[in-house]
Chains A and B, each alone.
Chain A
Amino acid sequence: MDNGETGIDLTPRTNQQSATSKWIPALVVLVIALAVVGLIWFLATNSQSFLEADKAVIEREELGDKRFQLLGSPTTNAGSEQTFVIGEDEYTLFSIVFDGVYVDVVSQGAPPDLFDQGIPVVLEGNWEEGPIPVNGYFFPNGANDGWWFATDRILVKHDNDYREDRVDDAENRGQLE
């Protein structure tokens, strides 16, 4: 059918639903279902990604040089007396504690702004045994047992207390004595 004045084809359209439009809804539902399955799998396999310092000490031999995330609270802040430059590398030395078990830490680079005594941190790195890069250093409030945790990434696990007279979260969680 043709409109004589405009030349527009006014022939009634047939059903133009393409083959692709039929499988797109099924695909979207499938993707969402896969996302649910993937989410459950992720949650089931990552339920203990941070290893507390006390458990990490117990599992030290098994862990070997495997990289993992270590949880604990710094026993000191990171002042200039704990920062050393050796060659082109900057190291910060401190200790963390969880449930009364101490771990000495050698961190490459400067710690984040919120790093402070008692505020829990998650450290990414691995166990090392033997002398630390700074010869003769003694960790105040540390383990000093010849093992140390080498890290190049410090994340701060901040608490949820915004009161002015807050009780230190680390004390609540038994991470500080």
Chain B
Amino acid sequence: MITTVGPFNATSSRSTRFLGLCLLLGIPALILFAFIFSPEDDSMEDAVRLLYIHVPVAIFSYIAFGVTAVGSICYLWKRSRWWDTTAHASAEIGVMFCGLTLVTGSIWGRPTWNTWWEWGDVRLVTTLVMFLMFIGYLALRQVPASPEARAKRAAIVGIIGTINIPIVNRSVEWWENSTLHQQSSLTDGNLENLTLFTWFLGTLVIGITYLWLLIHRFRVGWLETEEERLGYGAAIEERQAEAHGLDVGSTGIPEEGENE
């Protein structure tokens, strides 16, 4: 039982319940606007509706990996478990959003470009590399090591992986003739009326989803590291007790509630 360990008694709180309520209202609203109220495009027809999910998840994958970079830098600076846990939580959500970006982009590409995937396309390949880099980040965190060594290694990879974000984002401008991917519609002012509103709604909903998931995943991560820390502490106590010939009970691990 880990529910009484550390500062959190559960992963939910008043703020996450409020965010969850916003999502309960926001997701049906987004579905209504995306599929019913917003118009189809003259040439792309219904494929344009992917815009309302593909672009927001792409933006929030950048933000999530950016938060991982900030958390990694702050960990190396402060050596704070809080920053390491934040970086880890954000990277997991970023990988999920980046995966969704690739999948929805591929679904978009088939009717729009006439291909599911192009290996020579800079936007597609740089996005895939970013996805794989952060899969590597998550894999590295699973390698057995002390919490400090693991956090330090992950922080270095988290910072290296973030170098790719501006390359991915700017690739459609820097290598315009090497990508089928269009440039930003928003910065060019090429969205209007309900299309623009629905895009904003999608961005808001995905943003709240990110925040909601981040808080929950952070708290789960905190509980995991707390349990790990207590486990280490108990193991050390056990070894010390053995060295001094003391009886520490059958397991040597403190019972629930003893740590408070």
Contact = CB atoms under 8 A, between A and B. Distances in A.
Interface of A: 1, 3, 12, 17, 21, 24-25, 28-29, 31-33, 35-36, 38-39, 42-43, 46-50, 52, 69, 71, 112-114, 116, 119, 122, 154-164, 166
Interface string B185-204: 10010111101000000000
Interface of B: 39, 41-44, 48, 51, 111-115, 118, 120, 122, 125-126, 129, 132-133, 136-137, 139-140, 143-145, 153, 156-157, 160-161, 163-164, 167, 171, 175, 177-178, 180, 182-185, 188, 190-193, 195, 238-239, 242, 250
Nearest to B152: A25
Contact of B177 (A24, A29, A52, A154): A52
30 contacts: A3-B250, A17-B145, A25-B153, A28-B136, A29-B156, A31-B136, A33-B160, A35-B133, A36-B163, A38-B129, A39-B126, A43-B122, A47-B175, A48-B177, A49-B178, A113-B114, A114-B43, A119-B43, A122-B180, A155-B115, A155-B118, A156-B112, A156-B113, A156-B180, A158-B43, A160-B185, A162-B185, A162-B190, A163-B190, A164-B192
B44 A29 contact: no
Dominant secondary structure at the B interface: helix
A139 B153 CA distance: 62
Contacts, number: 128
A3 B42 CA distance: 77
Contact of B190 (A47, A49, A160): A160
A166 B190 contact: yes
B182 A159 contact: yes
Given A17-B144, A32-B161, A43-B167, A158 B44 contact: yes
B111 to A, nearest CB: 7
B113 A164 contact: no
Contacts of A33: 160
B114 A114 contact: yes
B51 A162 contact: yes
A32 to B, nearest CB: 5
A161 to B, nearest CB: 4
Contact of B114 (A1, A112, A116): A112
A113 B177 CA distance: 22
A109 to B, nearest CB: 11
